[in-house]
Every structure is written in C-alpha cells, then in structure tokens.
Amino acid sequence: MKLTQLAFILSVVFFPMAQGSSLSVSPPYLEILSPAGQSLTQALKVYNAGEKAIIVDLYVGDFWYDSSNKRAFPDPGTTPYSAASWISFPKRQVEIPARGSADATFVFAVPLSSAVPRSLAALPPAPPEMKGAAEGPPPDETAPLVPNAPLSAYATVFVEKVNEDANKGQSNLGISMRIAIPVLYQRSEKEVSRLNLTNFEVQQPTPFKPLILKFSLQNMDEIYAFPSGEILVTRSKDKETVARGSIKAEKVVLPGQTVDYEIPITFEPASGTSYDGLMTLFFGKEKSIVRNFSFNSR
C-alpha cells in the first residue's frame, strides 16, 4: 500500500469558500495506491490560526467533472468511478484549539469487489456541486459486482467550519469555510497509455502579446494523468534557441475527461522572421506526445 501527497498542486484543488478564514488543512491532495481488500487510515492535519477554538464537520463527496469538463464535487456515488462509499470517519466532528491543530482521521477501505461502473457511459455527467451525506450512500445491492476493484476511483473529503452565529438563528450567515481534499485511488501502477492531443492552435506573438499555444488533452484510459511538458522555440534560419517554456503537472486529467490548456511563452520576435517550435508532453512513466509547429512574426 502506498500513499503519495502532492502538495505542489494546492492552488488547483484546495479551495476556501470564504476569504480571510483561519482554517487550513494539510495535505491538500492524496493519491492512494493499494490492492483490493486493503484499508488505509489517514489523518489530515487541520490548522486553526484564529483566537477561538472551532469545530469542523467531516463528510465525503465525489471528485469528478461536469458536462463542460470543469472540476466538480457532486453528491457521493453519483459519478463514474466513485470511491465515496469506501470512506468512513471514526469521528465526524473534530475540535481544533485556538492557534493550534488537530487530526481529522478517515478510513479508506478498498473492497475486494466493487459495483463502481467501469464504463464512462454508465452514468450521466456529474450534476451541479452539492453537499453529500456524512458517510456516503449505501451500496447498491442490485448492481453487478466487478471482480476486483476498478483500476481507479475518486472521492473528496470535505472539512467544513460552520459559522457559530448560524446556530443562533441567523441562518443567512451559513458556512464560513469549506475545504475539499480530493482523493485519487489506483489499484496498481498501471501506466497511462491513451492520452490524445487535440485542438492544437498557435497564436502568433506580437510586440505586445506573447506566443500562446492552445490545445486539449483527452484521457481515454481508466486511470488519471498529471501531464507535464517542455516547449522549445528556435529561429528557422539558424536553429538558434530563442525561447523556452514549460507545462507544470498541475492539472489532473480524469478518465474520459478533456482538459483545455493555454500556455503563454514570452520572447521578443524579430519582425518578418520565421520560427519553429517543438512541444513535448510527458505522462505516465515514459509516455510522451510530440508536436511540431511553425509561425512567422509580423
């Protein structure tokens, strides 16, 4: 069993519901690699920078994408590859002392067999974001069991602080902070092998605008991917390198999802000059996609 914490993508999936709050959680993101039939107990560290002790609620939801391919955190069990029913909480409320921290523990139990649909067509796109039940939905006893767990499954652990005044009849104040901790599961170290590059477009640079590469990546595999990449721009006549760019592994591409990219590359193009470019995308362990492009400066 293996657990990997990807703190470097905090800005992508760690989102406060209100600015200026004193609540934070570490790690912001979890990857779990485990065979079927295993359980993993994980403690999230919840920090309170405020002057008063607070109580947070813990509950689970799905981690998926909506019909426009935007990140979504819908009700548990409503999306393909949902692992929400695999998560349970020994304690659903945790008190965090003033200017202190406490552990919020959950158990991730991978079943020996699962009714999680392995076909992306088995369920419609995720509905709008909604708060889910505390321990996820009960298993569907009528659904056919798939031998072993799916290659991947997804869930979200929510840490939520409710405004104290909301309990005093002032319901309009509501939730003051909610933090989503996505959990990505893989049954084995299978390498992503089917990632398609589409809609590639080059927007030529000007004296006032950078070179911009636009493209989409579609994941046709059963496990998620964190693509990264490098971009090299050379002058056509002498092959001298004039610019470099990078694509950081900050976007997760879930099974069946298409994610759009827009990469700016800043340099000072000479008027009437031809340039060549090479973009290399990396995913999985040793997979890559290479795209050549050319453009003329105005």
DSSP β-ladder status, 71-72 and 64-65 = antiparallel
Is-cis flag, bond preceding 27, omega within 30? Answer: yes
Average pLDDT over residues 72-92: 93
Residue 131 has pLDDT above 70, yes or no: no
Q: Are 181 and 6 in contact (CB under 8 A)?
A: no
Cβ-count burial of 183 within 10 angstroms (0-12 exposed, 13-18 middle, 19+ buried)? buried
In whole numbers, what is the pLDDT of the chain averaged over residues? 79
pTM: 0.73
Per DSSP bridges, beta strands 30-33 and 175-186 are parallel
pLDDT at 160 over 70: yes
Distance CA 218, CA 221 (A): 9
Mean predicted confidence (pLDDT) in 137-153: 53
Query: Residue 21: which pLDDT band, with cuts at 50, 70 and 90?
Result: low
Distance CA 247, CA 228 (A): 5
Calpha distance 173→175 (Å, rounded): 7
The per-residue pLDDT for 37 is: 85
| Distance between start and end Cα atoms, the chain | 56
* 259 sits in which H/E element: strand 258-265
d(CA 256, CA 1): 26
pLDDT at 145: 40
pLDDT at residue number 85:
93
Q: Where are the alpha helices (DSSP H) in 165-287?
A: none
Given this model, what pLDDT does residue 165 score? 54
Q: Which domains does the chain possess?
A: 2-186 (2.60.40.10), 195-296 (2.60.40.10)
For the segment 174-228, what is each residue's pLDDT rounded down to a tens digit?
Answer: 556 899 999 999 887 777 778 999 999 999 888 788 999 999 999 998 889 999 9
Which of 134, 143, 108, 139 lies closest to 33 in space, CA to CA? 108
Find all residues with CB under 8 Å of 149, minimum gap 6, and list them.
36, 110, 111, 112, 113, 114, 116, 187
The 10s digit of each residue's pLDDT in 29-61 is 888 988 888 888 988 999 999 999 999 999 999
Residue with more model confidence, 60 or 114? 60
290: nearest Cα among 153, 281, 298 = 281
**How many CB atoms neighbour CB 54 within 10 A?**
21
Contact 24, 179 (CB under 8 A): yes
Residue of 241, 151, 249 lying closest to 193 (CA atoms): 151
Please report the pLDDT score of residue 1 as a whole number: 43
Residue 134 has pLDDT above 80, yes or no: no
